[in-house]
């Protein structure tokens, strides 16, 4: 039976890179049906709606969601900051309980990592809690005595299921190594919950070697010694920061893919490049669709199409010439399936 | 009159690098008196005390504080996580109202930045608010239903004085460029306060060009295009993360200096390297004292010893041979004063 895919091109270069990802999926011959959803900045400006309830319910009926990018141009004033992100991308992560954000980083060839250091790591980012819960508020807003609070909400339930997922993943990889990244020396409440949960779950996985890095130190290691990491598990905001950095040091953010996963498959998982909408290069042919293509390969894999997925991953090991345009890069990979 | 300096070597390599910084200060001939304070992990384990009130009061009477590093070894279980950091370093930042953490990054020669990109930037980190306020708590700790919250507290007062300081600094530099780094699309309360304050203060500094980066994008830019930044202003936790990364991409964290400043001089300012205690290399001679020496130069400058400070900064433009030991690097610079 065909897999049904909801396609959200979104904003900026989102639609351009998603088109190339679908070109490559199509080359695999896997049977899919797609339906496009016009959501994002343009849709909001035309209709005043970000994501209405009936669209959300419709999205639930698909097998997976493929998304390009969401967000207005930096500095644009048409759309209030965070409205699209919170109302669409983050809403989907929360409403569909996509609690794992899995982001693999592989330097394309052994010498291409930053300073020639080979990178082969996966970040498992908790995706439904922390500061992304949106807790906070204002007191005396707009006065000299204003206080703005922003909370991070962390539950044993949410942290534990993420940590268990990360241990399972680590135990299946050759190095069997898992690092917790947090800032336990300053974030003494949330850090304590993460550290305790990590230590307790570790007892169930005696074959996995564990380590810990403070988030600031992890940034240094990602630049100077990324081979230190195999699987990294971390909270929502640190995961956001670390994965952009890991993308930059492992061949560029144009290569970094992600899966927003509901491992129990009670709702469709969502696959998207780590990069943003990059409004400044829309239509220039400069957008790199590789991250979107790799995200689509993660989608095929998650849908059980292991063989097709591995053909796409294999194709992604070839490097196209530099200076190819977006659609030429898509065709380059499609021809190698 | 002699400047009185309180010296806190602290933990790990802290005492080693501070000794070299004092060697270089002594070579400038500036008249200082020093008093050493034995504080840190060893002192805590011996006495059960981190920083008592009378020591804190005594520290207030000095003209400046020079600190090495604070913190137990990663994974050590003798000292509860965060106890020394919160009880000593962070306590000093808060008690002395050292609300600016100023961290300059200069790639030692034009080609030595990451990918040969020259870096000449200053991060102005808010130093007394945000998640460092320690707000938060537990509900049902140790049960499957545990909730741990961790708050970020931001005031107009605290943000505004930091932003004003950053604009003043930017307006004195040749490029006159200031970037706000935050995560306004997710941290809608604290981000809104920062953005509004930034925009309002900007009107008072029409000669300064401004821009904005999300913290995740800023990590990419620091790796791929650090020359985009001149002065960066950001909150406490983002400043912590960005400055370790900026250190790594601008020649290594062993070079990165900082001043924890009370610009109104109602209490002594504190100068320290950005790097940590690095317990794994204690006594090996591998600790690089350059960051401590540069921090001491910032201290001389802040104390009004402009001429001596600029001689140290000038000396720091020479690069010692690689593989010199800690004390050889200190002597290398001392000889060039
Ligand atoms: C667009 C934004 C809300 C999002 C995030 O912060 O999670 C993005 O940066 C990401 O990493 O997926
Ligand atoms: C030691 C630690 C508490 C401190 C911080 O987080 O501020 C350090 O990382 C720094 O950057 O000065």
> What CATH number has the domain bearing residue B130?
3.40.718.10
**Active-site annotation holds for A111:** no
Asked if residue B280 and residue B255 are part of one domain, the reply reads no
Question: What is the predicted pLDDT for the residue at B119?
Answer: 92
Host domain of residue B313: 1-97+265-336
Query: Residue A245, CB half-sphere, CA atoms under 13 Å: how many?
Result: 30
If one counts every other C-beta atom within 10 angstroms of the C-beta of residue B19, the result is 17
Q: Please indicate if any CB of chain B lies within 8 Å of the CB of A191.
A: yes
Residue A158 pLDDT exceeds 90: yes
Residue A96 has pLDDT above 90, yes or no: yes
- Residue that terminates a domain, selected from B238, B261, B284: B261
Both B201 and B271 in a single domain?
no
Q: How far is A91 from chain B (nearest CA, A)?
A: 12
Average pLDDT of A299-312? Answer: 98
Work out the mean pLDDT of chain B and round it to a whole number: 95
Q: Is residue B177 located within the same domain as residue B211?
A: yes
Give contacts of B153 with chain A, Cβ < 8 Å: 147, 149
Active site residue B240: yes
**Which of B124, B66, B60 has its CA nearest to residue B97?**
B60
CB contact under 8 A, B153 and A137: no
Q: Examine the residue annotation and report whether A240 is marked as an active-site residue of this protein.
A: yes
Instruction: Identify which has the larger pLDDT, A109 or A15.
Output: A15
Residue B112, pLDDT score: 53
Q: Looking at the predicted structure, is the pLDDT value of residue A118 above 90?
A: no
Give the residue on B whose Cα is nearest the Cα of A70.
Answer: B185
Question: How many structural domains comprise chain A?
Answer: 2
How far A335 CA sits from the closest chain B CA (Å)? 31
Q: Are A26 and A156 found together in one domain?
A: no
B17 and B160 together in one domain: no
* Distance, CA of A47 to CA of A69 (rounded, Å): 19
- b/e A102-114 (16+ beta carbons within 10 angstroms → b): bbbbbbbeeebbb
Ranges of chain B whose pLDDT falls below 70:
108-116
Say yes or no: B274 and B142 in one domain. no
Shared-domain flag, residues B146 and B54: no
Residue in this structure with the two tokens 């129990």, named with its chain if needed: A264
Q: Which bound ligand lies closest to the C-alpha atom of B81?
A: 2
Neighbours of A133 (CB within 10 A): 18
pLDDT of A114 reads: 57
Q: What is the pLDDT of residues B93-110, one digit of tens each?
A: 999 999 999 999 998 665
Q: In this structure, are strands A269-273 and A257-261 parallel, antiparallel, or unpaired?
A: antiparallel
Residues of B in contact with A246 (CB under 8 A): none
Between chains, do A191 and B81 touch, taking CB under 8 Å as contact? yes
Average pLDDT over residues A176-201: 97
Asked if pLDDT for residue A279 goes beyond 80, the answer is: yes
Burial of A214 (0-12, 13-18, 19+ CB in 10 A): buried
């Amino acid at each position: 039976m065909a897999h049904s895919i909801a396609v959200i091109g979104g904003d900026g270069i989102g639609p351009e890179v998603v088109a190339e990802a679908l070109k490559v999926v199509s080359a695999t011959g896997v049977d899919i049906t797609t339906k496009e959803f016009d959501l994002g900045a343009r849709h909001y400006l035309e209709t005043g709606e970000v994501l209405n309830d009936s669209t959300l319910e419709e999205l639930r009926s698909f097998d997976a969601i493929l998304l390009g990018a969401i967000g207005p141009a930096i500095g644009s004033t048409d759309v209030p900051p965070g409205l699209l992100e919170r109302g669409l991308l983050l809403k989907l992560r929360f409403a569909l309980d996509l609690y794992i954000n899995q982001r693999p980083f592989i330097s394309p060839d052994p010498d291409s990592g930053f300073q020639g250091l080979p990178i082969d790591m996966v970040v498992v980012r908790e995706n439904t809690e922390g500061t992304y819960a949106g807790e906070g508020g204002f007191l005396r807003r707009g006065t000299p005595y204003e206080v703005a609070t922003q909370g991070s909400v962390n539950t044993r339930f949410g942290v534990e299921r993420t940590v268990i997922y990360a241990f399972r993943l680590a135990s299946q990889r050759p190095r069997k190594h898992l690092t917790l990244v947090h800032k336990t020396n300053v974030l003494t409440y949330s850090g304590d919950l993460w550290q305790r949960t990590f230590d307790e779950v570790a007892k169930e996985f005696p074959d996995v070697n564990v380590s810990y890095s403070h988030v600031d130190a992890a940034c240094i290691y990602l630049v100077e010694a990324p081979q230190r990491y195999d699987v990294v598990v971390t909270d929502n905001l640190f995961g956001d920061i670390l994965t952009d950095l890991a993308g930059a040091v492992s061949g560029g953010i144009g290569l970094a893919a992600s899966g927003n996963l509901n491992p129990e498959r009670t709702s469709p998982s969502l696959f998207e490049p780590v990069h943003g909408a990059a409004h400044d290069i829309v239509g220039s042919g400069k957008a790199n669709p590789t991250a979107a293509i790799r995200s689509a390969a993660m989608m095929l894999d998650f849908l059980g199409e292991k063989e097709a997925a591995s053909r796409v991953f294999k194709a992604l090991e070839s490097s196209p010439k530099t200076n190819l345009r977006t659609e030429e890069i898509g065709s380059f990979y499609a021809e190698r399936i």
